[in-house]
């Protein structure tokens, strides 16, 4: 019997699909969760109709979210991950021995449960590392109630904007993030696709520019995401050594990465499409 099915993400009258064996389809109190096994991309997770990650292409995403920020900082003790329930962002952070504490705040405990069961290779040993603490909580509330000046880095590893995640893309939320960051702290967020989510992408960049002294966006690929092109934006109030690579760290981390290296990063920070920079500059 052929049990293969097509699962598609629909965006702007286009669909982006994977064919394979359906491993799971359920609805948590927050969202629909699908896991499919595809020959090319391995096990892939979809939340409410949007592809989140796959075991074979996730490094394109997680390495780009984490290493530009962490490889540039001299001090990294406390990290906050908002979302990130598949464990990939935590796994990348734990490559830095100086990280002493990661708070991972995920709203949907089912995402963590499903990831641990079906996408084991993504979180890997991170789930057992005692530097990682998991909180099932609303990221917006977490940030609002956290003491000031605490985290060295905040990673926003959230789903695409929806009723559930809209506030994570707002200027007010970024202001609260800035409050709980240390002076040299960096906020790193996935900032959607300049192609499939152009308006949202521009709004994120604009909101970060309004909130922090410096911000910078890199563009690269995530094969299973709609249109393939994706972006990550970094922001800080520390202008002097913002994202300046710390060479000693880079050599160590590059060896442990499948995608990210300093040349890849340099190129990716120069990839802003004209149509995006024109709109940003006209704001």
Q: What are phi and psi of 22, to 5 degrees?
A: -75, 115
Q: Which stretch binds ligand SPD (CB under 6 A): 132-140, 155-163, 251-259, 264-272?
A: 155-163
Handedness of CA 221, 199, 36, 86 (dihedral sign): positive
Q: Which stretch binds ligand SPD (CB under 6 A): 17-25, 30-38, 71-79, 81-89?
A: 81-89
Q: Which is nearer to ligand SPD, 65 or 143 (CB)?
A: 65
Handedness of CA 101, 106, 110, 116 (dihedral sign): negative
Pairing of the two strands 14-27 and 32-38? antiparallel
Closest approach, Cβ 181 to ligand SPD, in A, equals 21
Determine which one of 48, 157, 160, 237 is catalytic: 157
Q: What is the largest CA-CA distance in the chain?
A: 62
CB 27 within 8 A of CB 33: yes
Q: Which is nearer to ligand SPD, 44 or 99 (CB)?
A: 44
Closest approach, Cβ 23 to ligand SPD, in A, equals 18
Tokens representing 187 are 């906020």
Element (H, E) at 120: helix 120-123
Closest approach, Cβ 52 to ligand SPD, in A, equals 4
Q: Please work out the total of residues on this chain that contact ligand SPD, with binding judged by CB under 6 A.
A: 14
Q: What mask of x and - would describe binding to ligand SPD in positions 99 to 138, judged by CB under 6 A?
A: ----------------------------------------
Give the C-alpha separation, 182 to 35, whole Å.
38
Q: What are phi and psi of 6, to 5 degrees?
A: -95, 130
CB 45 within 8 A of CB 110: no
Does residue 88 touch ligand SPD according to CB under 6 A?
yes
Q: Which residues 23-52 are close enough to bind ligand SPD by CB under 6 A?
A: 50-52
Q: What mask of x and - would describe binding to ligand SPD in positions 181 to 210, judged by CB under 6 A?
A: ---------x--------------------
Residues 6+ apart with CB under 8 A from 104: 81, 84, 85, 89, 90, 132, 133, 134, 135
| Nearest-5° Cα angle at 120, 116 to 126 | 80
Does residue 92 touch ligand SPD according to CB under 6 A?
no
Does residue 86 touch ligand SPD according to CB under 6 A?
yes
* 157 noted as active-site residue: yes
Residue from 68, 160, 215, 217 touching ligand SPD (CB under 6 A): that is 160
Positions that interact with ligand SPD (CB under 6 A): 50-53, 61, 84, 86, 88-89, 157, 159-160, 190, 225
């Amino acid at each position: 019997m052929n049990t293969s099915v097509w699962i598609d993400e629909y965006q702007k009258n286009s669909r982006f699909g994977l064919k394979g064996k359906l491993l799971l389809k359920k609805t948590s109190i927050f969202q629909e969760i699908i896991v499919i096994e595809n020959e090319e991309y391995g096990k892939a997770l979809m939340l409410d109709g949007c592809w989140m990650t796959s075991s074979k292409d996730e490094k394109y995403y997680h390495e780009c979210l984490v290493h530009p920020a962490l490889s540039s900082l001299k001090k990294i003790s406390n990290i906050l991950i908002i979302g990130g329930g598949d464990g990939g962002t935590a796994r990348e952070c734990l490559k830095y021995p100086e990280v002493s504490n990661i708070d991972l705040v995920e709203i949907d405990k089912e995402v963590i449960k499903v990831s641990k069961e079906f996408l084991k290779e993504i979180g890997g040993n991170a789930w057992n590392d005692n530097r990682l603490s998991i909180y099932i909580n609303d990221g917006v509330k977490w940030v609002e109630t956290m003491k000031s000046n605490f985290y060295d880095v905040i990673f926003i590893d959230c789903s695409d904007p929806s009723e559930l995640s809209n506030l994570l893309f707002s200027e007010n939320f970024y202001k609260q993030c800035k409050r709980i960051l240390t002076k040299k702290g960096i906020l790193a967020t996935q900032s959607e696709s300049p192609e499939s989510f152009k308006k949202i992408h521009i709004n994120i960049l604009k909101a970060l520019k309004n909130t922090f002294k410096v911000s910078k966006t890199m563009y690269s690929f995530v094969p299973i995401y709609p249109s393939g092109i994706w972006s990550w934006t970094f922001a800080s109030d520390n202008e002097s050594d913002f994202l300046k690579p710390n060479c000693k760290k880079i050599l160590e981390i590059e060896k442990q990465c499948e995608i990210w290296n300093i040349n890849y990063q340099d190129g990716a920070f120069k990839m802003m499409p004209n149509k995006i920079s024109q709109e940003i500059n006209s704001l």
